[in-house]
């Protein structure tokens, strides 16, 4: 069996209400948004990547999380 780090993209069927197409997307959650538990996030490529985190040149650390996306709207999986 092949071991892979990270998580799988969610099944986004019926997660975006009447919006379509509803697809899995990786979103970046900056530290200040994690503290305030804000829903607003930044979109990344929706391909299942081996990325676990993102780190900018200034040393800021951003978590990546799978969400469901339809157009410019983000929905929980």
Q: Average pLDDT of 37-62?
A: 51
What percent of the chain shows pLDDT beyond 90?
42
Q: Write out the DSSP string of 32-71.
A: HHHHHT-S--EE---S--S--EEE-TT--EEEEEEEEEET
Q: Is residue 75 part of a domain?
A: no
Q: Is residue 13 part of a domain?
A: no
Q: Is 76 helix (H, G, I), strand (E, B) or coil?
A: coil
Residue pair 41/74 in contact (Cβ under 8 Å)? The answer is yes
Instruction: Give the domain range for residue 37.
Output: 19-46+60-69
Q: Is residue 8 part of a domain?
A: no
Does residue 19 carry a pLDDT above 70?
A: yes
State residue 62's pLDDT score: 80
Q: Is residue 55 part of a domain?
A: no
Q: Phi/psi of residue 24, each to 5°? A: -75, 140
What is the residue-averaged pLDDT of the chain?
Answer: 73
Q: Is residue 12 part of a domain?
A: no
| Domain count for the chain | 1
State residue 49's pLDDT score: 42
Q: What is the pTM of this model?
A: 0.58
| Strand-strand pairing, 53-55 and 61-70 | antiparallel
Q: What is the pLDDT of residues 61-75, one digit of tens each?
A: 788 899 999 999 999
Q: Is residue 32 part of a domain?
A: yes
């Amino acid at each position: 069996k092949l071991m892979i780090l990270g998580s799988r993209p969610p099944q986004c069927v019926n997660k975006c209400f009447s919006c379509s197409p509803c697809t899995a997307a990786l979103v970046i959650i900056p530290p200040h948004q994690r503290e305030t538990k804000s829903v607003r996030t930044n979109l990344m490529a929706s391909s299942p990547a081996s990325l676990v985190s993102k780190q900018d040149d200034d040393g800021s650390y951003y978590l990546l999380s799978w969400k469901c996306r339809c157009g410019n709207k983000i929905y929980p999986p």
